[in-house]
Structure 1
Amino acid sequence: MRSGFTWEAVAMWWTGVLALGLALAACGPDRRQVDLDFAAKEAAIQAGVAAQANARVAAAEPPPGMRPAPMVETALSCADGSMRTLRYFPEQGIAILLPEGRGKELQMEPVASGVRYAGYGIEVSGKGTSYMITMGDSAPLACTAEG
């Protein structure tokens, strides 16, 4: 009994597929034009990125008639040899501890005297030039304000 399968039929089928693929490829855009279009789009993207960066710098300035929020920055020299920076924003009642607390706002908490800010498992308390920084379950780290 003959199944109808022949290698000649397979070869003819692949020849047809190949011919169709070549015909479709010939109908496509010129490769040089595609490269030029790609280069133009890439230049436009780069120009847009530069424009966005300039817009962010311009947006960092407060609008006319509005003053920037006051900030007090204190450099801390800590007992483990590290340097940290504490940025206070007194009008907002927040502080940011750098480098660990980058972008994390620590909320001001009431104390009898000195300062205390806490949040995200970080606590900073101080009076005069003496500060203590506690992070999570770590032992408190003694620091001294410089300047």
Structure 2
Amino acid sequence: MQFSTLNKELDAVCTNYDYGIVPGSVTVFARDSIAVVGKLELTLLEGIMVIIEISGEGSMVTSCTPLLNTPISPSSLKLVQDHLEYTFDTIDKLLMTISPIFAQRFLDKIQSSITLDPATASFDPLLPPPSTASVPYDQQAAPSSSGNDIFEWIH
């Protein structure tokens, strides 16, 4: 991983995850350009502050601390503790694994961003495949002369 890529990832965590963690809780406290490692802290909505290390290997929680004035369930803390020092491919996978609230909000966000266009939502084999429905008619490929158009759309 290049240092510029690491910086972009750290900046993205600071700005793009407030929907599923305590808003404004991300603090990047280390950007090591030699080892290409970044460290940040953030607070999960379950009331647990975690230290996360991001490197070319992936992302891992290196420590966790329950917050004193927040009601926390023992199962939430155990879930985070069970995944200490475990490397995840992405920060998304890490947060979805250690925080059920984050996972639910992440899935809600994905579902709300999916919009179905009635013209492309049909599964009628007599209609053109969805990939051509959004292409202007004059730019669509001509039908094949094989006589197997419907077979090709289905498969």
| Coarse TM-score class (shorter-chain normalised) | under 0.3
Which structure: larger Rg? 1
- With normalisation by structure 2, the TM-score equals 0.26
